[in-house]
Amino acid sequence: MQIYFQHARLSVYSKQKIPVCWADMQAVATNPVIEFRDVSYRVADTQVLSGFNLQVYGGETLVLLGRSGSGKTTSLKLVNRLLTPTSGDIRVKGLSNKDADLIRLRRGIGYVIQDVGLFPHFTIERNIGLVPKIEGWPEERIRARVQELLQTVGLAPGIASRYPHQLSGGQRQRVGVARALAADPEILLMDEPFGALDPLTRDELQREFLILRQRLHKTVVFVTHDLREALRLGSRIALMEAGRLVTVLAPEDFLRSTDPLAAAYVRAFGEGLESAANRGTS
């Protein structure tokens, strides 16, 4: 047990300790940027989400952690109203998103999904520049913005004229992130954005995500089922199970948590490392 904990601390923690200043943030931003108020969502006979209460504060990365079917993706889609709650209210920047103009709301929120969903018939430049374009930005400003964003996500400028099918999976997801950032939204919703990538590319993108977050100060809601990713990227981790919020913890508290589900996650995570270590020694 002890061995694996050290492992976990070394591999996850040491890299992860970047100054995100959670304490500062709480002092500055007392009003949540996103707030779920007693939200439930059911479709047909399935209660996907029930009694869900959660606040997401400015500049933090809140990770929704849970297994498939726990309601984390649903929660995310409720924020940009791809889904409408059965009951309860979701407030984005203090405004109930029932009253918000749907299109305006969505354009103010960057959305990144696992399958990326780049438009296959558009060049990378058009993909990234689509929202600015329909927002009526002048052509030159769009082009400059696209170049700036390509640099931000670590892609060569020449890629702008290519098509999505000519890119690798990692490059495509970088474009996905760039596209979400195009109109400089305050909020980013990310649904397992790195889930389909190979481990090394994922690691690379996670690292860049941390750097990016420090630079851009976005409020991020990040869905994952990967504890390692949650520990690494999250300011706080909201643990979900069967449509309910179990607990919200800072990453450093997560490993020490006595909550049975959180402990189960840590155990499952540790066992992988432990068994790998044991195979090496025996």
Partner 1 sequence: MNVFRFMLHNHDQVLELTLEHLRLVGFSTLLAMLIGIPLGIGIAHRPRFNKPVLATANIIQTIPSLALFGFLLPVPWLGARADRLAILALTLYALLPIIRNTYTGIRGVDAAVVEAGRGMGLTESQLLFQVELPLAVSVILSGVRVAVVISVGLATIAAAIGAGGLGEFIFRGLAMVDDRVILAGAIPAALLALLADFGVGWLERRLQPR
Piece of 35-43, 152-160, 175-183, 229-237 that binds partner 1 (CB under 8 A)? 175-183
Name the residue nearer to partner 1 (CB basis): 33 or 76.
76
Name the residue nearer to partner 1 (CB basis): 106 or 202.
106
* Residue pointed to by tokens 């606040």: 55
Is position 219 an interface residue for partner 1 (rule: CB under 8 A)? no
Contact 189, 109 (CB under 8 A): yes
Q: How far is the CB of 212 from partner 1 (least distance, A)?
A: 19
Radius of gyration of the chain (CA): 19
Name the residue nearer to partner 1 (CB basis): 5 or 163.
163
Q: How far is the CB of 99 from partner 1 (least distance, A)?
A: 17
Q: Is 249 exposed, middle or buried (0-12, 13-18, 19+ CB in 10 A)?
A: buried
Piece of 24-32, 36-44, 105-113, 200-208 that binds partner 1 (CB under 8 A)? 105-113
Is position 197 an interface residue for partner 1 (rule: CB under 8 A)? no
Is position 187 an interface residue for partner 1 (rule: CB under 8 A)? no
Name the residue nearer to partner 1 (CB basis): 105 or 233.
105
Among 17, 165, 215, 279, binds partner 1 (CB under 8 A): 165
Strand locations in 86-206, DSSP E? Answer: 87-92, 95-96, 109-113, 187-191
Q: How far is the CB of 54 from partner 1 (least distance, A)?
A: 20
Q: CA-CA distance, 128 to 58, in Å (whole number)?
A: 25
User: CA angle 159-162-164, nearest 5°?
Assistant: 105
Q: Could you give the C-alpha distances from 208 to 84, 130, 154, in angstroms and in order?
A: 33, 24, 9
Binding residues vs partner 1 (CB under 8 A):
80, 82, 103-109, 111, 113, 115-121, 130-131, 134, 163, 165, 176, 179-180, 189
